[in-house]
Chain A
Amino acid sequence: MNTSLPNDPSLRLVRDLLRVRMVEEAIAREYPKGEMRCPVHLSVGQEAVAVGTGAALERSDLAVSTHRAHAHYLAKGGNLKRLLAELFGKEAGCARGRGGSMHLIDLDVGFEGSTAIVGSTLPVGVGLALGSKVRGDSAVTCVFLGDGAAEEGVFYESANFAAVRKLPVLFVCENNSYSVYSPLGVRQPPGRRLYEVVRSIGLTSALHDGNDVFAVAATVKTAVAGIRHGGPPVFLEFSTYRHLEHCGPFADDTLGYRPEPDVAAWKARDPIIQAQDKVRDHPEFSDETIGRWRSEIAAEIDEAFAFARATPWPEQSTRAEYVYA
């Protein structure tokens, strides 16, 4: 497995992006069989933010995330077999089947947890950064959020405390313009830019294209270096777009809640297509390379699904375990 991981960081980004996409598409394909019996929020279309960020973080850095966390978990290095086993509700799942898709964790790679309530992990991430500061370790904590979370009161509280105590925290906001089916236009006044609001709170902030994995990786790398060297916390807003429904394996644009020209324009800017176009002239890249990656990744995914199906359920008798430490 992973026999042809490219050494070139650009190619590695392209391959990692493809891998996350293929995992999400495999989940979408298999989901209707009814074996993954929990809500899933897929990242198809938004993967570049996760992959670029994951590439710019050290393994010892920390991350927390949201209900839409598969891509963040994988990009941080989270174990694929344990992700799928978790979706299947199995004991070998990353949360022993107690959490499902919305509660992912892989402590081996610093993925400290994703949770289901919008905005809920924002202060938890800031607290991890406070903990790092108290203990004197050099970890930077990355807090993934969406545009909806930035409307929660706890977001402003968390960003404020990060600024006032100058904590080593990076907020990475995937702005896909929709909170479930509610567009930004009904949620925020026209002309407001979230990153500008956040700047006024005291964080360094910027807005970038979230569908350009190279831009994401470069931006996050610079931000993390600044934070690690004692700079203020950073908020990066990335514009991106969700291809599938808010929750579930299908497309939902037949519902008409998003303007058709928007959907077409964003799909034309698919991060996978853009990334592959950018490395088209790379000497180690060709259609053959893509084909090889696809078959390697497909084999890895098949193996992970086989594992998730075969590995045992949690015992009924353990249902009440882990309530208290």
Chain B
Amino acid sequence: MLEKSSVQMKFGEAVRDGLDVALQLDPHLICYGLGIDDPKRIFGTTAGLAEKYGNDRVFDVPTSEAAMTGIAVGAALRGVRSVTVHQRLDFFFLAMDQLINNAAKWHFMFGGQRSVPIVIRLILGRGWGQGPTHSQSVHSWFAHIPGLKVVMPTNAADAKGLLLSAIFDPNPVLFLEHRWLHEAVSNVPSGDHRVPIGRARVVSEGGDVTIVAMSFLVPEAIRASALLARHGVACHIIDLRTIRPLDWDTVSAGIVKTGRLLALDSGLPICSVASEIVAFASERHFHSLRAAPRRLTMPDHPEPTSFALTRNLHPSAESIADTVCEMLDLPHRFAADPKAGPHDVPGPWFKGPF
């Protein structure tokens, strides 16, 4: 029986709620990852699950990213779904053979005989000196690989809904959750709430410029649109939610509607998802465009650690609003709010260390 009620909760709590629901629905589902039942419980996202479902289903593992990913593939072949978790995406690079050669290709290379229903949670770091190897957002790598699905929820309801859809999808799904979104609060439907994979969400309807964003850049885009609204500029904001398969219909409609496209990307610029969206706009909607499509991404170098060097590193509400004004030939430029806290934390709730 689906419950129709909803409760306010944080993104991190919604992930936990989604896992709880899935563990109830599928008696063979297993959840594992380094630290999953340690005192910190993956930033609280697995709190109480080992106690509730036992250590045969929710368990800590050796520090072996490659094998633990291949083991998820094997268990899936035997009919056991899994949700594995890495506290930083960057550690998961050790598992690329298992992800790309096995998980993504098993269904294809054996002619459709077996699929690999696994979910891999990858937590994206940023700020507080996370530095070169604790802050990488390589969703475009994963999106490059046929056979993988890639989701990047922005709010608590989508986090739960996409997680449940991912768990019960027959394919391998990468679930990228931004550490800075863990405290984001929204209304989350109770029970078996699912958000379809492959469908973007129109956050706001506006006629002047279309901003396509993902993950933590969605709240930045929303803040930018508030700045721009003061100058009479209305933004059409699209939260991609899924990176692969990408919702080209919703992106198309947005481009055609305003004729101006700003593609944001929390990753690096070369061969980024933003590049793909700008290419798509140029190829398919050239005659609808009223200005050159633009991208805002990380700069093309690794993230440094120093507090001084990370200032203005990531796209922000202000840089988004500035870019929109350039596209519209408007003179306005925006400075960071002097009353805002330090640039390297999402808010006063984040005290480090990661």
Contact = CB atoms under 8 A, between A and B. Distances in A.
A130 B74 contact: yes
B307 to A, nearest CB: 35
A127 B112 contact: no
Given A127-B73, A160-B62, A164-B62, A113 B78 contact: no
Contacts of A121: 70, 102
Interface string A239-258: 00000000000000000000
Contact of A161 (B62, B73, B80): B62
Interface string B87-125: 000000000011001100011111111110100000000
A132 B113 contact: no
Interface string B189-212: 000000000000000000000000
Nearest to B59: A165
B147 interface: yes
A157 B98 contact: no
A304 B111 CA distance: 20
A120 B69 CA distance: 11
A124 B73 contact: yes
A123 to B, nearest CB: 3
B272 interface: no
Contacts of A265: none
Given A134-B28, A161-B61, A123 B74 contact: yes
Among B71, B72, B73, the one with the most A-chain Cβ atoms within 10 Å of its Cβ is B71
Interface in B67-85: 67-80
A325 B113 contact: no
B1 to A, nearest CB: 27
Contact of B66 (A123, A128, A323): A123
Contacts of A134: 28, 30, 56-57, 75, 78, 80
Residue with the greatest number of chain B CB neighbours at <10 A, chosen from A95, A130, A153, A325 = A325
A275 B157 CA distance: 66
B70 A325 contact: no
A260 interface: no
A153 B69 CA distance: 13
B70 A123 contact: yes
A131 B61 contact: no
Given A99-B109, A134-B30, A135-B79, A123 B147 contact: no
Contacts of A131: 74-80
B109 A123 contact: no
Interface of A: 62, 64, 93-99, 103, 105, 107, 112-113, 115-117, 120-132, 134-135, 141, 153-154, 157-158, 160-161, 164, 321-325
Interface of B: 28, 30, 56-57, 61-62, 64, 66-80, 97-98, 101-102, 106-115, 117, 146-147, 149, 170-171
12 contacts: A96-B112, A99-B111, A113-B106, A123-B70, A127-B70, A127-B71, A127-B76, A128-B77, A135-B78, A157-B68, A161-B71, A325-B117
